[in-house]
Amino acid sequence: MIAGEGALPERLARAIALAGPMPVSQFMAAANAHYYATRDPLGAAGDFVTAPEISQMFGELVGLWCADLWDRAGRPHCHWVELGPGRGTLAADARRSMAKAGFAPAIHLVETSPTLRAAQAERVADATWHDGVETLPTDGALLVVANEFFDALPIRQMVATPAGWRERLVACQDTLFLPIAGKGVPAVVVPEPLRDAAPGSVLEVSPASVAIVRALTVRLMRQGGAMLVVDYGHEGPLLGETLQAVRGHGFANPYETPGEVDLSAHVDFTTLAAAAQVAGAVAWGPVEQGEWLVKLGIDARAAALARSSPDRAEAIVADRARLVQGMGSLFKAMAVTAPAWPQPAGFA
Ligand code: SAH
């Protein structure tokens, strides 16, 4: 018997001692599951801040995006779904603006962390929670939103060496975790234009992300609806290591204190779009978050908010700037729609 006892680093060390070094994806999945299960990482006192936590304008505009799409699709029976809803702030803000537009779908939250489920219940008490996308309702269309969700999903890393591509594994010496070049992988798993990369080059792939996009796209094809993904990332596939650890609003070593730091990696929007297209759906974007928010009317929303709370006018201008310029060109929005659904706003 192998007992699942002790703190996470000890359990990881024991697993590596017994079964050998593990893929980066297995290390990241275990570390993040522990990290999110044991804390609320968001906000000034936490490790990082996300767009819905910066300003209510973000969730409100996401809600309007959903309501507009639902309206132009002919107002079908719909469920609203959020993947990795954090504190539930986006869901609460989106719901308020959807209701103003006459759209009041049931709310479904896909969340594995008990701590964050409790935070979400304070803001969206009547939601239905799911461990994964498999149990989402099968009646009616799905409008799915995922902000900074896919960056938290596990990635595999391939490293180019003079002897070919290898999968990076995480080894353990004493209590120190460290990345090593592990088993060889056949060159065909590396996209052709990148195959001859210089030794030391790193390629990241996220099969877990592709599997979720695929499963949801199958649902959109059957049930109708759309998915909105907002995250940091690039049009890929690209070479380069983006795995990062964040703690207390600064960078940390991803291999130190697993489960106590937030591990994330850039999202490869091209690969996610391709997964949706393979399953028959239409992919839109990615476009930069700032450009997308401006097209959705963030300036009018900021002006209206400033008029109704003049004492907060300066803060509202600063929040708008942070969402539109501060998050820079790194944050992007991408959408997937069922073929019979209209073109979503902000992607023209
Ligand atoms: N969307 C929120 C929170 C982002 S943090 C915001 O923008 O503020 C990432 C979120 O994804 C957390 O809620 C975390 O618990 C959740 N999460 C991470 N991995 C998950 C997984 N495999 N399944 C479901 N939820 C996950």
Average pLDDT over residues 178-206: 94
Reported as a pLDDT band with limits 50, 70 and 90, residue 329 is confident
Tokens 């809803």 sit on residue: 85
Q: Is the pTM of this model over 0.85?
A: yes
**Predicted local confidence at residue 43, as pLDDT:** 86
**Predicted local confidence at residue 237, as pLDDT:** 86
Instruction: Evaluate: CB of 115 within 6 angstroms of ligand 1.
Output: no
Using DSSP's 3-state secondary structure scheme, residue 44 falls into coil
**Predicted local confidence at residue 44, as pLDDT:** 85
Phi, psi of 294, rounded to the nearest 5 degrees: -65, -40
Instruction: Evaluate: CB of 212 within 6 angstroms of ligand 1.
Output: no
Give residue 149 CA to ligand 1 midpoint distance, Å.
Answer: 5
Q: Where are the beta strands (DSSP E) in 235-268?
A: 244-247, 250-252, 262-264, 267-268
Average pLDDT across the chain, whole number: 96
Residue among 28, 113, 144 to mutate when testing ligand 1 (max atoms within 8 A of CB): 113
Using a pLDDT cut of 90, give the percent of the chain over it: 94
Which alpha helices (H) appear in the chain, and where do they start and end?
8-19, 24-37, 51-54, 56-72, 89-100, 114-123, 207-223, 269-278, 289-296, 298-308, 313-321
Give residue 283 CA to ligand 1 midpoint distance, Å.
Answer: 23
**Predicted local confidence at residue 103, as pLDDT:** 98
Protein residue with least CA distance to atom 14, ligand 1: 84
Cα(109)–Cα(132) distance, integer angstroms: 9
Reported as a pLDDT band with limits 50, 70 and 90, residue 1 is low
Instruction: Evaluate: CB of 110 within 6 angstroms of ligand 1.
Output: yes
**Predicted local confidence at residue 174, as pLDDT:** 81
**Predicted local confidence at residue 235, as pLDDT:** 95
Using DSSP's 3-state secondary structure scheme, residue 63 falls into helix
CB-CB neighbours of 10 under 10 Å: 11
Cα(199)–Cα(190) distance, integer angstroms: 14
Instruction: Evaluate: CB of 148 within 6 angstroms of ligand 1.
Output: yes
Average pLDDT over residues 133-161: 98
Residue 46 confidence (pLDDT) above 70 = yes
Cβ contact 314:305 at 8 Å:
no
Rg (CA), the chain: 21
pLDDT in tens, 85-119: 999 999 999 999 999 999 999 999 999 999 999 99
Protein residue with least CA distance to atom 21, ligand 1: 112
**Predicted local confidence at residue 348, as pLDDT:** 87
Q: Which ligand 1 atom is at minimum distance from the Cα of 82? A: 1
Q: Which ligand 1 atom is at minimum distance from the Cα of 37? A: 15
